[in-house]
Amino acid sequence: MSIAVDAAKLAGQILREMLESASSWTKAPKDLVTEADLAAQAAIEKRILSEFPTHFFLGEENATPQESWDAVSKKEFCWVVDPLDGTVNYVHRLPNFAVSIALMYNNQCVLGVVFDPMANELFTAIQGNGAQLNGKPIHTSSVTRLEDAMVAVSFPPQVHRESIEIKQFIEVLLASQSVRRLGSAALNLCYVANGRLDAYWANSLKPWDVAAGAIIAQEASANLTGLGGNPFDPWSGEVLATSTLTLWQELQHTLEDISMQ
């Protein structure tokens, strides 16, 4: 944990320093990368592998092709890293982005660190030891009804009018108290963990988006699964996290109804 926190703070310092100057470019339609992403990932990789040179490192900016993820998931120790989760926010200088670092052991996430360098908020969790924000224990909200819930969603970079995400968004918007699209999957999961959000769902994420935030949410007692109620799998792209089981049942039923149409 101390190495992961150190690496996250090093990366966070880089992100802050480069916020006004980092150039960006398009790596896919509506999908950006910046000089800061690359510099932050290099700092994280150097720090972690200097201590654990035999561990596998999967970072967003030099990611193993998706067809090879099955082999990656079989690594004994694998660090799964997003040096800048919320790149579009970063490019627009919107202060909702984070460094995300997870350690997987035999394909089970055992450690997560999410650092928001602008708010100086450090979310951490070790499997079986609860979740913390800046060293203090955190827990989900007690909201049980969708009509009382503030819910967040993530969309993939490219959506169209008939995308399942759009249909889900409309139904949840009508059924919930409010829906937010904040731009950082890692922070969304952390916000569920400490009660700022009551629920979060997404259909098309990458493992580096969710691995660290997922264990933080789980350790804060969130209900965390795939969209169909299947066990959460960071390689699947799906996530459904809620503050309580009753809320999970209602939101999952709403999402499932849309998927079956």
Of residues 90 and 26, more confidently modeled: 90
Q: Which of 81, 114, 137 is a domain's end point?
A: 137
185 and 239 inside one domain: yes
Residue 261 confidence class, pLDDT cut points 50, 70, 90: low
Cα separation, 166 vs 64, in Å, equals 29
Residue 85's pLDDT is 96
Q: Which domain CATH number covers 199?
A: 3.40.190.80
According to DSSP, residue 146 is labeled: G
- Sequence length of the chain is 261
From 126-130, 237-241, 256-260, the region with the lowest mean pLDDT: 256-260
101 and 161 inside one domain: no
Residue 28's pLDDT is 56
CA 206, 207, 210 angle in degrees (round to 5)? 95
126 and 164 inside one domain: no
9 and 130 inside one domain: yes
Q: Which of 137, 169, 198 is a domain's end point?
A: 137
From 74-78, 101-105, 243-247, 257-261, the region with the lowest mean pLDDT: 257-261
Cα separation, 189 vs 206, in Å, equals 14
Mean pLDDT for the stretch of residues 92-99: 95
Q: Which domain CATH number covers 129?
A: 3.30.540.10
Residue 21's pLDDT is 78
169 and 133 inside one domain: no
Whether 38 has a pLDDT exceeding 80, the answer reads yes
77 and 166 inside one domain: no
Contact 10, 46 (CB under 8 A): no
Q: Which domain covers residue 226, as residue numbers?
A: 146-259
Domain count of the chain? 2
